[in-house]
Structure 1
Amino acid sequence: MMERLNQVNGIPVRPVDSKEFETYGRIITGYDFFDLISYMETKSDIPENGNIYLPSVPGMEEAPVTARLRDGFYGGMDIQVGYCNGRNTTYNGFEYHKGSEINIAVTDFMLVLGHTWEIKDNTYRVEDASVFFVEKGTAIEMYQTTLHLSPCRVTDQGFKDIVVLPKGTNTPLKNRTAPATDEEKLLLQCNKWVIAHPDREPLIRQGAFPGLLGENRELRY
């Protein structure tokens, strides 16, 4: 798989257990994610087109591991457990949150990642991003300084990804005010700052800032 992804894309595609991933996040061990993965395999579908993202799924949040993550990994902070399933293959843009995000790969997929410190004047260059392969069954933490967006599929069937975040993330803002800083111009939803590619019209229509510079690359598989 890794060899093929590198050949067809012409750019490095690295595994998340590589040294290059260390500034973006880390692999998580010590938690039993069986119940969450089982829920995804039996009760979630991959859409025919595009992606579906549900920030909070009660059936998943009732799993015993959710309480363990809340009390241990997030230090008692309220969290939400949901998922993103889909067929995405393009970069489209980047987002970041204040607080780490956990991703649990129910299928293999790729992630396109960057660093928030590489944002200049609310713009980010496509060529500065790195691509990582996440193998099925792997759980990772992405640090709050990591730019990311939807996973990218590596098969015709699409991808399934469990997403754990501080509670309320990626939900509508309750109090929106006129931006007072450059960073506030990127704020799209609660705890969600977004830089979109100008060609990604659905994101732009939602109010995302069109600051991704360069070609909106498509990853092949």
Structure 2
Amino acid sequence: MKIYSVLDPEFAAYGRVWADAPAAYTDAVATALDASTPLPEATDYVASEPALEELDIADGLKMLLFGGRTAQLGWCNGHNTRLNCLEYHRASEFNLGTRDFILLLAKLDEVEGGVLDTACVKAFRAPAGVLVEVFATTLHYAPCMVDAEGFRVLVALPAGTNGPLPQLPPKAATAGDAPYLWAADKWLLAHADSVEAAQGARVGLAGENIDIAPYL
């Protein structure tokens, strides 16, 4: 598998790099992530982290990213090299790592009949301290590490995203992509080999459960 950079033109179909994001914002986020969030042996996610939410720049950052929409600043930290699942939201997600990290991405329009061939997945390396937007039409999941030191990555999203699974009205429960709804504003396509599939997530990834470890 080729590992592109988010600075390569190939990334433009999946997201964009906010190269001009104020350093006062990005530096504060990176410092708080390093100082106040854990680095699990596996992978963990917190949707709203007080150490980020209470930063002096938090409101300004949220305004910049979501234009006044209520938002949350959380993190995904740990050690991971596998695909396992892909998810999407109805809005962009923003990431910033304290160290380089890798995103495994595909496009929503590559899903056919509720299934994505994992051969469509591409890998993109994001440099430390760079704010990256992942479009709403981009399938993504947990970051991957570039070495044994793991990753700490900001996850900024509209408030409530990844919250408890809502109870859909009976008439809506099987319409559109409702069968893939795994949490609030989180539609998930799981690989059959994943923990999420064993927990009942809809299997929607066909092909290899990609592991980037051999390419690092």
TM-score normalised to structure 2 length: 0.92
Mapped partners of 1:207, 1:166: distance in 2? 25
Mapped partners of 2:70, 2:114: distance in 1? 30
The equivalent position to 2:182 in structure 1, one of 173, 188, 191, is: 188
RMSD: 1.3
Q: Determine whether 1:138 maps to 2:125.
A: no
Mapped partners of 1:149, 1:14: distance in 2? 17
Partner of 2:72: 80
Does the 8 A contact of 1:186 with 1:209 survive in 2?
yes
Mapped partners of 1:86, 1:198: distance in 2? 22
The 5-angstrom pairing of residues 170-181 of structure 1 reads 170-178=162-170, 179-181=173-175
Does the 8 A contact of 2:36 with 2:51 survive in 1?
no
After superposition, give the CA deviation of every residue in 1:140-179 in whole Å (9 maximum; x if it has no partner): 0111001000011111121111110000001112424442
Tell me how far 1:63 sits from its aligned partner. 1.6
Partner of 2:4: 14
Mapped partners of 1:147, 1:65: distance in 2? 29
The 5-angstrom pairing of residues 1-221 of structure 1 reads 11-28=1-18, 29-31=20-22, 32-48=25-41, 50-178=42-170, 179-200=173-194, 202-220=195-213, 221=216
Structure 1: which amino acid aligns with 2:11?
F
Mapped partners of 2:27, 2:153: distance in 1? 14
For 1:88, what is the secondary structure of its paired residue?
Answer: coil
Tell me how far 1:182 sits from its aligned partner. 4.0
Tell me how far 1:62 sits from its aligned partner. 1.6
Structure 2: which amino acid aligns with 1:141?
E
Mapped partners of 2:100, 2:64: distance in 1? 27
Percentage identity across aligned positions? 33
After superposition, give the CA deviation of every residue in 1:50-93 in whole Å (9 maximum; x if it has no partner): 20100011221122332113223211100000100111111111
Does the 8 A contact of 1:126 with 1:212 survive in 2?
yes
Structure 2: which amino acid aligns with 1:191?
D
Structure 1 unaligned spans of 5+: 1-10
Structure 2: which amino acid aligns with 1:64?
D
Structure 2: which amino acid aligns with 1:147?
L
Mapped partners of 1:58, 1:88: distance in 2? 24
Mapped partners of 2:67, 2:94: distance in 1? 14
After superposition, give the CA deviation of every residue in 1:14-56 in whole Å (9 maximum; x if it has no partner): 11011000011111122322222111111112112x2010001
Once the two structures are overlaid, the 10-residue window that deviates more, 173-182 or 137-146, is: 173-182
